Amino acid sequence: MDILLIQKLYRILLCILFILFLSGCWDSNELQDFSIISGIGVDKGGDDPENRYRTTVQIINPSIVSGGQLGGNVQSSPVTTFSETGSTLKEALRKISNEAPAELFFPHIQIMLIGEELAKEGMVEIFDVIERDPKFRVLFPVLIVKGHTAEDALKVSTSLRPIPSAKIEGSLQSTKEMWGEYPSTRADQAIKKLGEGSVAITGIEVNGKVEKGNQTANMQDISPSTKLEIKGLAIIKDGKLQKWLEGDPARGVVWVNNEIEKTVMNLDCGEKKDALSIDIGRAESTIKVKVKKDKPVITIKINAEGAVSETQCSIELDKDETINKLEKQLENEIKDEVLTTIKTVQEDKSDVFGFGEYINIEDKAYWKKIKNNWEEEIFPESEVNVVVNATIRRTGMKIKSYIK
């Protein structure tokens, strides 16, 4: 057979194969065929096993979002919530599917909220369906609703970002990146840490009346009467909420876990307390463990770099001795913050830092011997050293303050 004819037949065969593969998916669905869930919340249900959990889903209203009505006068809510109870989350979700306008679609979940009452009683079991069911993606953050239910928080309408779950996720990321006080714990991270021992999960608080927040007028007001605020760090031990950390003790957890991206530290200036601000733009923490005399010795090393961002006192920033003094102050401030946090969690017998993992890496035989008593007996008495090296790189546009 002629070579040219063979090549021609080969090209025809390739074209036929390409046409077959480009014919599309026979079982494809359009997005409008689904009820897209943007947020999911889990609360304690009733006292009877049949209503153990109350599950809430926040479903996006595609006609409002795609129609561009969010930019003008909103006549209807961009989201709708549905809540049902069940002995399992799966049962509650199946009940919700009877009310939802279309099949529930889980891959676009932005946040998961857990009510404080349920968190206090125990929340280990609620993650099983999320980890087991392939319809869920476990990369969304988990938060504990402080003082309210998850259902309450998901019903609060928000301005600027009218979809509440998107607002919560955005606020969490902004807080983590700019202030460094609260970490973002994904569902997969929570599942892993809950299986190993203790974990710290960021909280969210409803400020105002839920009834007013559950109205579209709340997102139209310049100053909404009901707001959602990222606040508090929940210490979870054995799957149960033990206590809340706020402010500097909460940020201490982030320092140790090497999750500080940016933050602001306030220093005393002369006799004025907290009168000088340092913007931390770079930070790195490392943890090392040595076993000495059959006891673990933990050393945390923190390197931080920052710049003077504000002064409310008379200070000469053009002098080396002034900068050196500020660097020492900054080192002591960070060290005190971290040590306060460590003392707090040691008293609560909650290793939220995962020090046990470092001991296991350093000395597996020793860890095997102590792991059953680690949090209750060994960790509270362990020696923890904190070494901080702080550097101030810049002093801003003005080195001499006009303040006398």
- Tell which wins on pLDDT, 52 or 157: 52
How far is Cα of residue 199 from the mean position of the Cα atoms in its chain? 12
Q: What is the gyration radius of the CA atoms in the chain, in angstroms?
A: 27
Summarised one tens digit per residue, pLDDT across range 162-216 is 788 988 998 898 888 877 888 899 999 999 888 778 999 999 999 988 887 777 7
Is there a contact between 285 and 300 (Cβ–Cβ < 8 Å)? yes
Q: pTM higher than 0.75, yes or no?
A: yes
| Residue 342: predicted pLDDT | 96
User: Does residue 35 sit in helix, strand or coil?
Assistant: strand
List CB contacts of 340: < 8 A, sequence separation 6 or more: 248, 249, 252
Determine the pLDDT at residue 1: 52
pLDDT of residue 72: 47
Report the pLDDT value the prediction gives residue 45, as an integer from 0 to 100.
92
Using one digit for the tens of pLDDT, what is the confidence trace for 231-248? 999 999 999 999 999 888
Rounded to the nearest 10 degrees, the angle between the axes of helix 320-347 and helix 248-256 is: 90
Closest C-alpha to 226, from 235, 216, 234: 216
Structure-model confidence comparison of residues 62 and 105, the more confident one: 105
Q: Topology of domain 247-404, per CATH?
A: GMP Synthetase; Chain A, domain 3 (3.30.300)
- Rounded to whole angstroms, the maximal C-alpha distance in the chain is 99
CA dihedral 194, 251, 175, 244 (to 10 degrees): 50
For the stretch 333-369, pLDDT in tens is 999 999 999 999 999 999 999 999 999 999 999 999 9
Q: What is the pLDDT of residue 213?
A: 77
Residue in 288, 286, 243, 248 with CA at minimum distance from that of residue 265: 248
Question: Which amino acid, 158?
Answer: T
User: What pLDDT score does 26 carry?
Assistant: 45
Domains of the chain, by residue range, sit at 31-246, 247-404
Among residues 148, 118, 143, 144, which one has the least CA distance to residue 208? Answer: 148
Q: How far apart are CA 120 and CA 244, in angstroms?
A: 11
Distance between CA 273 and CA 270 in Å, rounded?
8
What is the C-alpha to C-alpha distance for residues 127 and 40, in angstroms, rounded to an integer? 12
User: Higher pLDDT residue, 224 or 329?
Assistant: 329
